[in-house]
Amino acid sequence: MNNKIEFNKPFTSNKDKKYINDIFKNNKFADGFFQKKCENFIKKKVNSQFIALTQNCTSSLEISMILLNLKKDDEVIMPSYTFTSTANAVLLRGAKPVFADVNLHDANLNYESVRKKINKRTKAIIVVHYAGNSCDMQKFLELKRQHNLILIEDCAHSFMGKFKNQFLGTIGDFGTFSFHETKNLVGGQCGAISINDKKYVKRAKIILDKGTDRAFIGNKKRYYSWKDIGSEFRSAELPAALLYSQLMKLETIMKRRKIISETYKKNLRSLKNRKFEIIKHNLKNKSAHHVFALIFNSLRLRESFIKYMKKKKILCYFHYYPLHISSFGKKFNRTQMRNTDKIYNGLVRLPLYPGLKKTELSRIIKEVKKFNLVKT
Ligand SMILES: Cc1ncc(COP(=O)(O)O)c(C=O)c1O
């Protein structure tokens, strides 16, 4: 009898508890040691000017939008095929999210669709490097220069991915990372922001710490004061300790994810009469291998695939409900997005995590192949 194959499993072990136990030993639960250790590690690893550890990617997006000084009627372009946090960050500042279409081959933001939506109210573009695969940053950097826009990289999926030789999140003005339980590295709920233009750093430190200048005072002075708007955007110590432990096994995590993705690709790409496309990425860029997706050409096929795999005890899922057709998102945008609709209807994610056993991987591949033969 086959065991159930989960869709995702955080790559944790008893070793991860060591750092959490250290917090109890030190009896220091906030403003602390692991937060700084993670920040220094990530900053060095991705070669960033400034990294702050945050509560989550959502907070990092919100910080970016505060730093932009968005006003009512300002517009920020983003894919419709993303998580709600990308759009909420804009709305929370009273500005307007404008949804653009994605590419069919990689589900990343489509350059032409973005270009057509730029007008005098446009202040920024948020790209999402879907599945851990880089958007075409050269083109988006060109748009940024031509129209004097701010470029934000939502790297919820793409920590350690690269565009050419540069780490994702360090190319635009801001990069926002997620270390949620479902992501490549797990801090429970945790995130980071990379600030790539030094002019924003001073204000960012104030915003991160509830609008105070405490970060500049260190241990020397007793008093700090209220300088700006802000919130408690900084990560707490418990998630930071877990994340630090994950960072210590970063190479293993990334290597295993890469092997699994490449095994899927190698085995499925050569199938005859394929009922699906395989999500693509430009081989000049390094993928973070967050998602491995098949794209079917109808909702009916996608649903029958998910059902078939479930029957075989293999959990596979579709992904975002596009924002432009969601009940809330319809209030801001009513445009049609052909590619986004197709991706929403057709895309299915296969299990991908470091703890996936070789036998499980072979079983998944075998079942995908069998489904491909079934008359549908
Ligand atoms: C593209 C994207 N942006 C932002 C987020 C929010 O991340 P977090 O849960 O760390 O706030 C997610 C969550 O899955 C996401 O997929």
Nearest CA to ligand 1 atom 7: 57
pLDDT of residue 223: 75
Gap between the Cα atoms of 253 and 342, Å rounded? 31
User: What CATH class has 250-373?
Assistant: alpha beta
Question: Taking a C-beta distance cutoff of 8 angstroms, is the pair 87, 40 a contact?
Answer: no
- pLDDT of the chain, 376 residues: tens digit per residue: 789 999 999 999 888 899 999 999 989 888 889 999 999 999 999 999 999 999 999 999 999 999 999 999 999 999 999 999 999 999 999 999 999 999 999 999 999 999 999 999 999 999 999 999 999 999 999 999 999 999 999 999 999 999 999 999 999 999 999 999 999 999 999 999 999 999 999 999 999 999 999 877 666 656 789 999 999 999 999 999 999 999 999 999 999 999 999 999 999 999 989 999 999 999 999 999 999 999 999 999 999 999 999 999 999 999 999 999 999 999 988 788 999 999 999 999 999 999 999 999 999 999 999 999 988 7
Q: What is the pLDDT of residue 222?
A: 63
Which amino acid is present at 332? F
Predicted local distance difference test score (pLDDT) of residue 210? 96
Index of the ligand 1 atom closest to the CA of residue 130: 1
Q: How far is the CA of 179 from the centre of ligand 1 (A)?
A: 9
CATH architecture of 15-247: 3-Layer(aba) Sandwich (3.40)
Return the pLDDT at 332: 86
pLDDT at 218: 61
Would you list the domain boundaries of the chain? 15-247, 250-373
Tell whether ligand 1 has an atom less than 6 A from the beta carbon of residue 288.
no
- Regarding the beta carbon of 56 and ligand 1, being less than 6 Å apart is answered yes
Would you say the C-alpha torsion 82, 59, 19, 51 has a positive or negative sign?
positive
What is the pLDDT at residue 157?
98
Q: Which residue has the tokens 């360090």?
A: 170
- pLDDT tens figures, 222-267: 678 999 999 999 999 999 999 999 999 999 999 999 999 999 999 9
Q: Of all atoms in ligand 1, which is nearest to the CA of residue 56?
A: 10
Q: Phi and psi dihedrals of 143, rounded to 5?
A: -60, -40
Pocket lining: 58 vs ligand 1, CB cutoff 6 Å: yes
pLDDT value, residue 217: 67
Residue holding tokens 């000017």? Answer: 49
Q: Ligand 1: which atom is nearest the Cα of residue 177?
A: 10
State which amino acid sits at residue 253.
I
Q: Residues 3-45: pLDDT tens digits?
A: 999 999 999 988 889 999 999 998 988 888 999 999 999 999 9
Q: In the prediction, which pLDDT does 15 show? A: 84
Separation of CA 257 from chain center: 15
Distance from the alpha carbon of residue 58 to the mean position of ligand 1, in angstroms: 6
- Whole-model pTM: value is 0.97
53, 180, 291: which to mutate for ligand 1, most atoms within 8 A of CB? 180
- β-pairing, 75-79 with 122-128? parallel
Distance 85 CA to ligand 1 centre (A): 6
Is 86 close to ligand 1, i.e. is its CB under 6 Å away?
yes
Q: What distance in Å separates the CA atoms of residue 60 and residue 156, rounded to the nearest whole number?
A: 10
The span from the CA of 344 to the CA of 27, in Å, is 47
Judge if the beta carbon of residue 82 lies within 6 A of ligand 1. Answer: yes
Rounded-to-integer distance, Cα 135 and Cα 95, Å? 24
Q: Which atom of ligand 1 is nearest to the CA of 182?
A: 14
* 274 CA distance to ligand 1 middle (Å): 31
- How far is C-alpha 276 from the geometric centre of its chain's CA atoms? 24
Listed in sequence order, the residues at least 6 apart from 298 whose beta carbon sits closer than 8 Å to its beta carbon are 345, 346
Angle, helix 250-268 to helix 358-373, in steps of 10 degrees? 30
